[in-house]
């Protein structure tokens, strides 16, 4: 007999946070859709760069197609996408954008098949795909709180970030192999098929009932201009959202510095070729993946605001060391460690931002964050290009590192961030 008729005590085994989140069918479908869409974006960027480079033999034209044409839509369309995400069904928005992206990739495949994917055609199709990316990424980011309970919010965010980080790198490698084996036309066609699959994975998704973001049928809807204005005002006038948005700009600046300055350092300062240079750019990914996976297993992590600040400051000496280093292996080892604080920042800043945002403003706030982190990449890239005209690339890394230190000091001095 047991005391009071109660059953004997048993050890209750709880599932690992990652297993618990991934056990949900809607989140699994969402994760697969996010994973595929990131593979497609990373792969398509490489494909357009390669096609233009082959057609024009101009690195500047290739950068125009792979950087500005694909990146500029983030600057132009992120805020309207966020406003619409708070007005309409987010799942349907992703489905529509995915269908459009599939059509764009099929057009690129057809043009490549008849040898008509010229520089202008590449710029137009790349810009069109960039529009879908500027819509899908902030909208999918805003969907995470609708798919996981609050106690697993950090795990849900970290797992999506993990898919974005790993799939972007994998997309570039796989696309390079496909182009070499099958040609550009078949590669774009395969990417179109993957894009269609990414959209289909959105169909079975069902949001948590209490977190529906779309307004009711009788609810009054403000104009698009007012919605965008409200989103900017909500983000920039309130702490800690303002400081968190600025911290996301730091991520964008560091990412642009990695993509533009490190290859030039490898070639001009360290005397290395293309593969060694690409290893420096890709070297940031393993540290980000490891850190993000660790965060995914720590949903109850405390002191996240202070940890994000430490991540911001940790980037500074790493950038300076990369700028001053005269050894390729020292630079590579430094970059491998560089991904650790980047992983902390990318995941923690996003979770802290979403926790400080009401559900009805989530789409607009995440679009502002996307604007600061991704939409500013074309502007940051142009600024870095001008910087390299005045300074060697290694000095440019040091200058950017000092700029990051100043911005991070301002963020660290904000009590609202430290208390998170």
pLDDT score recorded for residue 59 = 58
pLDDT at 209: 63
Q: How far is CA 375 from CA 145, 385, 391, 416, in A?
A: 23, 17, 25, 25
Statement to judge: residues 118 and 260 lie in one domain: no
Q: Are residues 38 and 184 in the same domain?
A: yes
Up-side HSE of residue 166: CA atoms within 13 Å toward CB? 16
Q: Using 50, 70 and 90 to split pLDDT, how confident is the model at 6?
A: very low
> Do 117 and 199 fall within a single domain?
yes
Is residue 159 over pLDDT 50?
A: yes
Give the span between the Cα atoms of 213 and 41, in whole angstroms.
27
Domains of the chain: total: 2
Position 102 pLDDT exceeds 90: yes
Same domain membership, residue 241 and residue 200: no
Residues 278 and 381 in one domain: yes
Residue 278: the pLDDT is 66
User: Is 223 contained in some domain?
Assistant: no
- Per residue in 196-228, pLDDT (tens digit) is 999 999 998 888 765 445 555 445 567 778 888
The tens digit of pLDDT for each residue in 323-379 reads: 888 899 998 888 888 888 888 888 888 888 888 888 788 888 888 887 887 776 677
- In this structure, is residue 218 part of a structural domain? no
139, 172, 205 - which closes a domain: 205
pLDDT, tens digit, 9 for 90 and up, residues 223-273: 778 888 888 888 888 888 888 888 888 887 887 777 667 777 887 788 877
CB atoms within 10 A of CB 278: 17
**Secondary structure (DSSP) of 277-346:** HHHHHHTHHHHHHHHHHHHHT-TT---HHHHHHHHHHHHHHHHHHHHH---HHHHHHHHHHHHHHHHHHH
Residue 67 — pLDDT band, cuts 50, 70, 90?
A: low
- What the block records as the tokens of 43 is 């792969």
Looking at the fold, whether 303 and 409 belong to one and the same domain comes out as yes
Q: How many CA atoms lie within 13 A of 200 on its CB side?
A: 7
Same structural domain, 269 and 134: no
pLDDT at 287 over 70: yes
Question: Residue 66 — very low, low, confident or very high, per pLDDT cuts 50/70/90?
Answer: low
For residue 362, give the nearest of 37, 206, 140, 157 by alpha carbon.
140
What pLDDT score does 99 carry?
94
Query: Is the domain of 246 the same as that of 162?
Result: no
Question: 69 vs 5, which has greater pLDDT?
Answer: 69
User: At residue 132, does pLDDT exceed 60?
Assistant: yes
Q: Is residue 245 part of a domain?
A: yes
Are 189 and 107 in the same domain? yes
- With CA atoms as reference, report the closest residue to 80 among 199, 213, 223: 223
Give me the pLDDT at residue 269, please. Answer: 82
Write the DSSP string, 142-187: HHHHHHS-GGGHHHHHHHHHHHHHHHHHHHHHHHHHHHHHH-HHHH
Most confident stretch, 60-69, 102-111, 359-368: 102-111
In a domain, 97, yes or no: yes
Is the same domain home to 198 and 324? no
pLDDT value for 10: 42
Residue 154 lies in a domain: yes
Q: Residue 259 maps to which CATH number?
A: 1.20.1250.20
Tokens of 167: 């799939």
Last residue of a domain, one of 190, 205, 220: 205
Does the residue 9 lie in any domain?
no
Task: Evaluate if residue 169 carries a pLDDT over 70.
Answer: no
Q: What is the pLDDT of residue 1?
A: 43
Instruction: Examine the pLDDT at 13 and tell me if it is beyond 60.
Output: no
Statement: residue 89 has pLDDT above 50: yes
Same-domain status, 406 and 267 = yes
Q: Is the pLDDT of residue 282 over 80?
A: no
Range of weakest confidence among 66-80, 174-188, 217-231? 217-231
Domain shared by 260 and 396, yes or no: yes
Q: Is residue 145 part of a domain?
A: yes
pLDDT of residue 322: 84
Q: Which 3 state secondary structure label does DSSP give 118?
A: coil
Minimum mean pLDDT among 4-18, 72-86, 332-346, 400-414: which range? 4-18
Q: Which percentage of the chain shows pLDDT scores above 90?
A: 13
Q: Which of 24-28, 168-172, 314-318, 380-384 has the highest mean pLDDT?
A: 24-28
Tokens of 54: 């082959």
Query: Which residues span the domain enclosing 74?
Result: 17-205
Let me know if residue 212 belongs to a domain: no
């Amino acid at each position: 007999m047991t005391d009071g008729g109660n059953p004997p005590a048993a050890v209750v085994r709880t599932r690992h946070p990652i297993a618990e989140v991934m056990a949900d069918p809607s989140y699994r479908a969402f994760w697969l859709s996010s994973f595929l869409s990131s593979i497609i974006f990373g792969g398509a960027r490489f494909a357009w760069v390669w096609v233009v480079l082959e057609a024009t033999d101009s690195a500047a034209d290739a950068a125009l197609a792979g950087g500005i044409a694909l990146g500029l839509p983030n600057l132009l369309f992120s805020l309207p996408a966020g406003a619409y995400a708070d007005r309409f069904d987010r799942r349907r928005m992703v489905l529509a954008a995915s269908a459009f992206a599939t059509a764009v990739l099929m057009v690129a495949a057809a043009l490549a098949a008849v040898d008509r994917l010229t520089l202008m055609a590449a710029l137009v199709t790349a810009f069109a795909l960039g529009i879908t990316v500027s819509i899908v990424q902030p909208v999918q980011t805003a969907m995470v709180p609708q798919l996981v309970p609050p106690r697993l919010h950090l795990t849900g965010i970290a797992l999506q970030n993990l898919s974005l980080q790993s799939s972007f790198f994998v997309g570039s490698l796989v696309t390079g192999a496909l182009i070499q084996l099958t040609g550009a036309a078949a590669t774009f066609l395969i990417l179109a098929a993957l894009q269609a699959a990414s959209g289909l994975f959105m169909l079975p998704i069902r949001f948590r009932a209490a977190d529906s973001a779309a307004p009711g049928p009788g609810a009054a809807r403000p104009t698009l201009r007012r919605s965008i204005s409200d989103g900017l005002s909500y983000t920039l006038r309130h702490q800690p959202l303002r400081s968190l948005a600025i911290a996301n700009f730091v991520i964008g600046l560091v990412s642009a510095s990695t993509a533009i300055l490190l290859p030039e350092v490898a070639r001009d300062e360290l005397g290395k070729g293309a593969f060694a240079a690409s290893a420096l750019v890709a070297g940031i990914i393993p540290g980000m993946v490891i850190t993000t996976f660790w965060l995914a297993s720590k949903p109850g992590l405390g002191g996240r605001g202070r940890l994000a600040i430490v991540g911001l400051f940790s980037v500074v000496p790493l950038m300076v060391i990369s700028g001053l280093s005269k050894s390729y292996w020292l630079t590579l080892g430094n970059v491998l460690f560089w991904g650790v604080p980047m992983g902390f920042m990318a995941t923690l800043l996003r979770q802290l931002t979403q926790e400080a945002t009401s559900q009805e403003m989530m789409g607009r706030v995440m679009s502002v964050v996307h604007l600061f982190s991704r939409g500013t990449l074309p502007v940051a890239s142009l600024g870095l290009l001008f910087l390299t005209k005045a300074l060697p690339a290694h000095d440019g890394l040091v200058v950017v590192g000092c700029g990051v230190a100043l911005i991070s000091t301002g963020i660290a001095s904000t009590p609202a961030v430290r208390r998170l």
